[in-house]
Structure 1
Amino acid sequence: MAVVNETVRFDQMKDVKEFDYFKIGVKGLADSGITTIPSFFVQPPEILSDLKSFSSTCTEIPIIDLSDVNSDLHRPKIVEQIREAARTCGFFQVINHGVPVSVLDETIAAIKAFHEQPPEVKAEKYTREEGQSVMYASNYDMYRAKVAASWYDSLQVWMGPEAPKEEDIPAMCRKEVVQWDIHAKKVADTVFELLSEGLGLERGKFKELGFSDSRLFMGHCYPFCPQPDLTIGIRSHSDYALMAVLLQNQVPGLQIKHGDGWVDVKPLRGGLIINIGDSLQIISNDEYKSVEHRVLANSSKEPRISTVEFFHADNRNGSACFGPLPELLSPEKPAIYRNFTMKEFLEIFYTKGVHSKSLVKELKL
């Protein structure tokens, strides 16, 4: 049996390398009119059996209105709402966040336009060289994850701490990516202030620690999948980052884990989704929680488009050390996690695939 399994893995790896060689992504596969997905996208039975699992105790993530965030009267209530959502759910949507709906629409349209370009045009940016300021690939962790591939393609741009050369960003979405980075950072700075206050810290504490200096933009495309019951858009994982700001179009598919089941995150026009990352769970010493989430394979002819801006601490100093904030520790609340250097964080980031809560598990005492 082991020989058979090894033969299957060898044949699948050949197929993966051939898929990668042509640089067409899953969008190219979908556009070719295939009716059967390649075997290396077929998920194992334990994943497939979980795809229809839903929780009955939670029906939606919190929606928080930021319109009065600068009001001395209303801000304490918003701080408490953010704190409670970060403690119990790890995901929430914000409305009246200050980003014009026109900007949201333009960003989604530009990323969709990038992914709808002919494969030979997109192939110019197709790479698996980690650490590139701009890269496009299908399943960027396809080789190191060592699991079945997921049905999505991504454009990735590191926006900070050092800005990319604008000419390196694909012309099709250059203006919109740069514009979105500015708006997403403003939203993140506001939410970081509220999260800091929710921990009883000074409003500017997270900014002082450089929590929005390293910013990674990702523009995902989940095209139509002819066999959505056999694969997944992106497998269950939590984000390594401190926090993410997510914008999605109106095609559903995003789910968060709640208890033993899954809850749909319904698209809300004009809303932005905030999710707590593993790094913030560690730094807050478990006061705030990251949560596993996934995207189902898309059965709609309309592609699911999302953009995510991930916020990390400044990664230029590899010896910089992070861990549970001393202000949050006491004899009654000792550190749950060990300290880690930015070098160690990046090594984990680049060697682990998109899978479960691997950073939290790696650093727990």
Structure 2
Amino acid sequence: MEVELRAEDDGSRAKEMKAFYQSWTGVKGLLDSGITDVPSFFINPPATSSSDATSTAQLQIPVIDLQGIATDQRRTEIVGAIRDAAQTWGFFRIFNHGVPINLMDNMLDAVRRFHEQPQELKKAWCTSTEINQKVFDYDMKVAAWRDTVSIEFPDGELNELAIPEVCRNVTSEYMKHMVELKETLSELLSEALGLRRDYLASIGMNGALIAFHYYPACPQPELTIGAAIHTDASFLTILLESDIDGLQVLHQNQWVDVPYRRGYLTVNIGDLLQIVSNDKFKSVKHRVLAGRVGPRTSVPCFFAPTAALRDKSYGPAEQLVSAENPAVYKGTSFHQYFSFYRPNGRDGSLVLPHFKI
């Protein structure tokens, strides 16, 4: 079944989305009500829906074992593998990363507990205004079949009171491990660029945002999408996923599945790191398909400049610019970049070209 969305539908679509948001129902609430058809404002054009779910089994994103990172020879091998992955895929998966597997399982369970609470308990954590607040995700150009709540730590300090009580303890512990892993990865990525080990840490990628994504089962997954095609605006994303597949990465103009592996984490390069790397590392498009089986849960952690550094100008690292390799991007602050990204970067559009010299 193909559905054509006309420009004149945009106004009614926006009104329906707003009314749905103000009802505080959530996608889970829709499903619990017994619906058998996807509401019209969730229906995507075929090019952006799960109907285009083709993937190739011949391609797999790189998998990197971090075991032995403290030894010189093994570290050199790991840095090389990360360099290759960041340059060619923009995504890689890691294991032996130091995050306890039982903690990862507990974090995913906590996401389900939050989203499966009574509606009145979730309502206090839901708004649709700014990225540094909690959000049910319906203010996008392309409606997504998911409920999501995000919690930001803009100064890099873990504020436990900002976390819903039902998942506070496990989230606090998980975030401590995410910060440690981010520091390790920032060193490895710095070395992979040929920069001093503390370079990325020194420019300020300590702001953090964790999101609790909940993708209910969908009665007509071919008509909608779990997460629209997008890149991430941040420096770096570390993603934890449950055992229901759905994430796809665009590589060589082909959608590649990222199948579940217990204990694995997925890492991807964000737009800001592509700028700093002067196009050596790639921030690539990805999406999440809607599915008939659910709920699927995932927990991305996004790392970006702290609030104090969001007006700082970021451009290509000086060491990566030369007469042979001129700067590709003009300097821009994260605030400026995200202000352009928010209305333009979450419907499949690429934002980075707008900031090229």
TM value normalised by structure 1: 0.91
Matched, 1:271 2:264: yes
The letter of the residue matching 1:47 is T
- Matched residue of 1:105: which SS? helix
Over the residues paired in the alignment, what is the CA RMSD in angstroms? 1.9
Q: Which residue in the other structure is 2:65 paired with?
A: 65
Change (3 A) 1:316 1:250: same
Change (3 A) 1:35 1:232: same
Q: Which residue in the other structure is 2:38 paired with?
A: 37
Q: Which residue in the other structure is 1:95 paired with?
A: 95
Q: Which residue in the other structure is 1:121 paired with?
A: 121
- Matched residue of 1:266: which SS? coil
Matched, 1:201 2:208: no
Q: Which residue in the other structure is 1:348 paired with?
A: 340
Q: CA deviation at 1:103?
A: 0.8
Could you tell me how far apart the structure 2 residues matched to 1:246 and 1:135 are? 18
Bigger drift between 45-54 and 176-185 goes to 45-54
Could you tell me how far apart the structure 2 residues matched to 1:49 and 1:158 are? 29
Gaps of 5+ in 1: none
Could you tell me how far apart the structure 1 residues matched to 2:153 and 2:173 are? 11
- Among 211, 219, 239, the alignment partner of 2:212 is 219
Q: Which residue in the other structure is 2:76 paired with?
A: 76
Q: CA deviation at 1:155?
A: 1.2
Q: CA deviation at 1:160?
A: 3.4
- Matched residue of 1:232: which SS? coil
Native 8 Å contact 1:159 1:181 kept in 2: no
Matched, 1:289 2:282: yes
Q: Which residue in the other structure is 2:291 paired with?
A: 298
The letter of the residue matching 1:38 is P
Could you tell me how far apart the structure 2 residues matched to 1:204 and 1:358 are? 29
Matched, 1:328 2:320: yes
Could you tell me how far apart the structure 2 residues matched to 1:101 and 1:6 are? 47
Could you tell me how far apart the structure 2 residues matched to 1:272 and 1:87 are? 19
Q: Which residue in the other structure is 1:138 paired with?
A: 137
Native 8 Å contact 2:210 2:302 kept in 1: yes
Q: CA deviation at 1:274?
A: 0.3
Change (3 A) 1:49 1:176: closer
Matched, 1:361 2:353: yes
- Matched residue of 1:247: which SS? strand
Matched, 1:210 2:165: no
Change (3 A) 1:50 1:29: closer
Gaps of 5+ in 2: none
Could you tell me how far apart the structure 2 residues matched to 1:264 and 1:252 are? 8
Could you tell me how far apart the structure 1 residues matched to 2:221 and 2:171 are? 30
Native 8 Å contact 1:319 1:342 kept in 2: yes
- Matched residue of 1:225: which SS? coil
Q: Which residue in the other structure is 1:51 paired with?
A: 52
Q: Which residue in the other structure is 1:232 paired with?
A: 225
The letter of the residue matching 1:54 is S
CA deviation string 1:61-95 (max 9, x = no partner): 11100011111121101100000000001111000
TM value normalised by structure 2: 0.93
Query: Size of the alignment, in residue pairs?
Result: 353
Native 8 Å contact 1:238 1:355 kept in 2: no
Native 8 Å contact 2:51 2:223 kept in 1: no
Q: Which residue in the other structure is 2:21 paired with?
A: 20
Change (3 A) 1:357 1:241: farther
Could you tell me how far apart the structure 2 residues matched to 1:336 and 1:151 are? 36
Q: CA deviation at 1:9?
A: 3.1
Q: Which residue in the other structure is 1:183 paired with?
A: 177
Q: CA deviation at 1:346?
A: 3.6
Q: CA deviation at 1:228?
A: 0.3
The letter of the residue matching 1:41 is F
